[in-house]
């Protein structure tokens, strides 16, 4: 008897180029299936190091993490590639700074996390493999039992057995049975089809059952053909190719055999539709190629922009390079998010990107090296001013020294930045020398010039004016104006000195009413001693605020993935924001005092 499997084998012998899936086993891949996989492999997704590590973490937290071996390994390779590149960048900078390559040592901050993820996944994959082996063994026993039932169906079937229903149940159970090891499947599958053919030979003696079987399978074939025709118009080509594979699997496992007169006719019709769908694969390749070409253009534009930022047209300064650094970081993220490029150009495009980034970093580093040289020169200039101030701070030749110290202060402002480690020290030295001189000058001159009674009268008026201030718009500006005027008034009689305490008490009340800190007031007319005292208080409050912020942020770290949307943490986030805003204001005020603005 000629079976459907025999027919498929004969067809393949007649034309080796034709595709026949009717007698291929489940562990083999048809030519069309290979083509579909190769198209999918063309699509490579660009992903950043942080996102790659996040995706790896997501995978290991899934119930069946081990089954995602291919995806996890791809992410691991990308993460390792990025880490290697970033270490090479660090090494490049290290060597450029004049260091010996053999002395380079750097531990990437993400390396330990990557290693941990890889180790966890290995454990989960090993566990998954063991589970698969157990499942495959159960499936093997189950499929062998199905074969025994099939064998008994045509050798020992009891009278009255509904053969049509029984074979339907066996075939359906076989199609749903789990996977077995590839080494077992070929023999198992051949054994199943051997007994299935034996069953059909037995059915040949019973025309009624055989016709029912043929009719049922023909109906299945016709449904498969109709669905295949619909796939010809499926707009998503990859979806059409994937579903076509599934239809070939159904054809092989559930739609055979049929009556002789329909056998070749239905197969040829199905095969012709399959070939038409596979011809559309070129459309998919063209679409991918077009998209990759667009991505290549985008990436080349990014490289060109980074290169342009590396070559500033005018003399660059600190602000230029800070803006350029932020822009390059944005461009780097955009490059990584942009999709794949044609495979033959992928390595070259990536190397161009890394080379351009390194070029940018080299130019930027050279600028800051030269800046350090100019800062050293500025330091030397300011040290000379300090020495001049110290040499003259006790000189009482006022006609000469007063203009001298004013000029020293003006010259100080004109000199640029010095190394950060020296900023506070040299400012303290310069300020102390200036304070010593001006305090001496005031003590010797204020006694003869101040009208203390008039000063008291003016201060009394300012105090009364301060008491009338409310919290309406403009109140803070009024307070600042009153405080500046107060600072510019000289001493008062000793028996009236309590007015200063009274003024300070009223000032605190008005500041509290307007919700502003005294250290944030914009005031003028402060003496050098007052400026020094205010700077000391601001430094102390800055230190306290920084400690409070660190403590609050450490508290948040005890929560798993702390978020502003969490009602329990919202107040903490708001408090941190308020303290940071206050901290920034204090820093600006301190900078203004130090700079003498």
Between CA 256 and CA 273 the distance in angstroms is: 19
Q: How far apart are alpha carbons 554 and 471 in whole angstroms? A: 36
Residue 319 class from Cβ within 10 Å (0-12 exposed, 13-18 middle, 19+ buried)?
exposed
pLDDT of residue 206: 65
Which residues 6+ apart lie within 8 Å of 438 measured at CB? 405, 527, 528
pLDDT at position 32, please?
35
| Residue 83 near residue 70 (C-beta atoms within 8 A) | no
473 SS3 class: coil
How many Cβ atoms sit within 10 Å of the Cβ of residue 70? 8
pLDDT of amino acid 100: 79
Give the pLDDT of residue 6: 32
Looking at residue 139, its pLDDT comes to 86
At residue 1, the pLDDT reads 33
Q: What is the pLDDT of residues 302-328, one digit of tens each?
A: 888 888 888 887 677 777 888 888 888
Q: Is 467 helix (H, G, I), strand (E, B) or coil?
A: helix
Q: Cβ contacts of residue 69 below 8 Å, gap of 6+?
A: 125
User: Residue 92 has which token pair?
Assistant: 């490049």
Q: Judging by beta carbons within 10 Å of its beta carbon (0-12, 13-18, 19+), is residue 124 exposed, middle or buried?
A: buried
Q: Which helix (H) or strand (E) holds 588?
A: helix 567-595
Task: Please give the backbone phi and psi of residue 386, each rounded to the nearest 5 degrees, phi first.
Answer: -60, -45
Using an 8 Å Cβ cutoff, are 48 and 336 in contact? yes
Whole-number pLDDT of residue 31: 31
DSSP string, 122-169: HHHHHHHHHHHHHHHHHHHHHHHHHHHHHHHHHHSPPTT--HHHHHHH
Question: Which whole-number Å values give the CA distances from 242 to 230, 237, 281, in the listed order?
Answer: 14, 9, 11
Among 390, 398, 404, smallest CA distance to 435 is for 390
Buried b (16+ CB within 10 A) or exposed e, 569-579: eeebbeebeeb
Report the pLDDT value the prediction gives residue 148, as an integer from 0 to 100.
Answer: 86
Cα(317)–Cα(368) distance, rounded to whole angstroms? 9
Quick one: which of 57, 19, 37, 415 has its CA closest to 252? 19
* 3-class secondary structure, 524: coil
**DSSP secondary structure, 162-211, as one string:** -HHHHHHHHHHHHHHS----HHHHHHHHHHHHHHHHHHHHHHTT-HHHHH
Residue of 391, 434, 439 whose CA lies nearest to 411 = 434
Residue-wise pLDDT for 14-67, tens only, equals: 332 332 323 333 333 333 333 333 334 434 556 778 888 888 888 888 888 888
Q: For residue 189, give both structure tokens.
A: 């599958």
Residue ranges of the chain whose pLDDT lies below 70? 1-46, 157-160, 203-206, 314, 371-373, 444-451, 519, 523-527, 593-597
């Amino acid at each position: 008897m000629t079976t459907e499997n025999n027919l498929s084998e004969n067809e393949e012998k007649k034309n080796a180029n034709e595709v026949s899936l009717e007698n291929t086993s489940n562990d083999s891949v048809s030519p069309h299936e290979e083509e579909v996989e190769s198209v999918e492999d063309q699509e490579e997704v660009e992903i950043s190091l942080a996102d790659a590590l996040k995706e790896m973490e997501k995978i290991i937290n899934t119930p069946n993490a081990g089954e995602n071996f291919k995806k996890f390994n791809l992410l691991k390779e990308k993460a390792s590639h990025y880490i290697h590149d970033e270490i090479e960048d660090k090494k490049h900078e290290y060597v450029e700074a004049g260091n010996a390559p053999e002395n380079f040592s750097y531990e990437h901050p993400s390396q330990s996390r990557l290693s941990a993820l890889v180790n966890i996944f290995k454990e989960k994959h090993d566990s998954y493999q063991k589970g698969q082996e157990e499942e495959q063994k159960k499936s093997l026993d189950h499929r062998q039992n199905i074969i025994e039932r099939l064998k008994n169906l045509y050798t020992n079937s009891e009278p009255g057995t509904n053969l049509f229903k029984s074979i339907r149940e066996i075939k359906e159970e076989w199609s749903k049975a789990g996977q077995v090891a590839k080494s077992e499947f070929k023999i198992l599958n051949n054994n199943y089809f051997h007994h299935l053919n034996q069953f059909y030979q037995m059915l040949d003696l019973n025309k009624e059952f055989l016709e029912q079987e043929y009719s049922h399978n023909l109906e299945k074939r016709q449904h498969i053909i109709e669905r295949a025709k619909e796939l010809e118009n499926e707009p998503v080509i990859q979806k059409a190719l994937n579903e076509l594979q599934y239809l070939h699997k159904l054809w092989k496992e559930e739609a055979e055999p049929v009556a002789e007169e329909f056998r070749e006719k239905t197969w040829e019709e199905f095969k012709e539709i399959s070939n038409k769908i596979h011809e559309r694969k070129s459309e998919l390749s063209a679409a991918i190629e077009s998209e990759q070409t667009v991505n290549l253009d985008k990436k080349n534009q990014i490289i060109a922009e980074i290169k342009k930022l590396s070559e500033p047209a005018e003399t660059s300064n600190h602000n230029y390079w800070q803006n350029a650094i932020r822009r390059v970081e944005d461009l780097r993220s955009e490059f990584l998010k942009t999709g794949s490029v044609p495979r033959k150009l992928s390595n070259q495009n990536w190397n161009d990107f890394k080379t351009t980034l390194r070029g940018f970093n080299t130019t930027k580093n050279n600028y800051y090296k030269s800046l350090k040289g100019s800062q050293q020169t500025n330091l030397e200039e300011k040290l000379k001013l300090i020495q001049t101030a110290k040499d003259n701070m006790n000189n009482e030749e006022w006609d000469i020294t007063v203009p001298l110290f004013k000029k020293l202060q003006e010259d100080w402002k004109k000199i640029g930045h010095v190394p950060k480690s020296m900023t506070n020290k040299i400012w303290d030295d310069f300020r102390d020398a200036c304070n010593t001189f001006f305090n001496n000058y005031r003590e010797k001159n204020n006694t003869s010039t101040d009208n203390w009674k008039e000063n008291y009268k003016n201060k009394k008026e300012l105090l009364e004016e301060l008491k009338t201030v409310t919290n309406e718009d403009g109140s803070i500006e009024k307070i600042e104006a009153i405080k500046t005027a107060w600072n510019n008034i000289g001493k008062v009689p000793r028996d009236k000195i309590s007015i200063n305490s009274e003024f300070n008490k009223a000032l605190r009340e008005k500041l509290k009413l307007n919700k502003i800190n005294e250290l944030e007031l914009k005031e003028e007319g402060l003496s050098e001693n007052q400026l020094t005292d205010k700077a000391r208080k601001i430094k102390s409050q800055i230190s306290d605020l920084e400690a409070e912020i660190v403590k609050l942020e450490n508290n948040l770290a005890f929560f798993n993935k702390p978020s502003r949307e969490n009602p329990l943490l919202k107040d903490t986030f708001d408090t941190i924001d308020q303290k940071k805003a206050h901290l920034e204001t204090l820093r600006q005020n301190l900078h203004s005092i130090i700079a003498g603005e």
